A and B are shown apart, each in its own frame.
Chain A
């Protein structure tokens, strides 16, 4: 889920990410990787637009990994918002209902201490339903993985509860500001 691709048609519908990630409207596809090491140094560096692929087959009521936060053992800071799209996708109920939920996210680490990530309360929710099934969703974080002197990771997990107990899908978009290019990443 580290790369996002978008076709020409949808890439030219109005987002202008200038000048961090300007979209080339003539490109058939473009990619945005928020851990792109070739990005230049900046003391205040941002990744304002990253979208991951949809994760299908999420079992109702089961926490499922849909994103991964990684941070090296350095002083680092990231903050922004996560936009979560979830939808029914089981046989007979494909895209019956779609839900949007947003969360603030803050990430902080000092070298030699564990990575700390905090999600805000959910805000900006909306749901559109055209079929018989609906779903609720909650975004949570797994425990930090890795020693205090090593790279740390934290899984971003979604728990979707489908009204009929069926499977669903989820997708995250990230709009984040990063302190440095080798700081935290979300993939």
Chain B
């Protein structure tokens, strides 16, 4: 087991390379968490992850799990929310990448301390960025709204399978 007793051995805000998995694996499966975002402004779409798709044939599919929590002064962690969705990404060379994000019905909920502010979440992908012959990217955006306007923090966990090493990158 690696030694995590020192912060020097830990990369903190982590980047998950979904093209990883077992070294040399052409069809790898992996799981990881993005650094997410802190101080998310109330009711403002904020990117918490980036999906990068090179101009090659590639495919990724899996689950997206998001933790969102209030962090406003005096209301830190009043409420925490989980959001669960599925993500599918596909591309053929010379065409724009396509990514589809769908909420899992019944998979999302919130826990709120007595008397605390509550929070809602909206999750959406940005439009594709980049030309059809270039690397394409999507931002995974979260919009949070407190029952009283408040900042929040969010992070994102991916669990999925990649069609090829060097394919879709989640970070």
Of the residues A19, A106, A124, contact of B109 by C-beta under 8 Å: A106
| A116 with B112, Cβ < 8 A, contacts A40-B9, A44-B35, A108-B77 known | yes
A118 touches B31 (CB 8 A): no
A81 and B22 contacting across the interface, CB-CB below 8 Å: no
| A126 touches B (CB below 8 Å) | no
Q: Interface residues of B toward A: which range?
A: 35 or more
| Contact residue among B29, B32, B108 (Cβ-Cβ distance under 8 Å from A14) | B29
Across the interface, name the chain B residue whose C-beta is closest to A178: B67
A121 to B103, CA, bound (A): 13
Inter-chain residue pair count (beta carbon < 8 A): 185
- Please state if A79 and B81 are interface contacts (CB–CB under 8 Å): yes
- The prevalent SS among residues of A at the interface is strand
A54 CA / B98 CA spacing, docked (Å): 40
Which residues of A, 89-123, contact B by the 8 Å Cβ criterion? 102-110, 113-114, 116-123
Interface string of B26-37 (1 = CB under 8 A from A): 001111110110
- Give B residues with C-beta under 8 Å from A: 1-2, 4-7, 9-17, 20-22, 25, 28-33, 35-36, 38, 63, 65-69, 75-84, 104-116, 153, 155, 157, 159
10 contacts between A and B (CB under 8 A): A20-B32, A46-B155, A77-B77, A81-B63, A102-B107, A104-B108, A108-B78, A113-B115, A123-B105, A179-B153
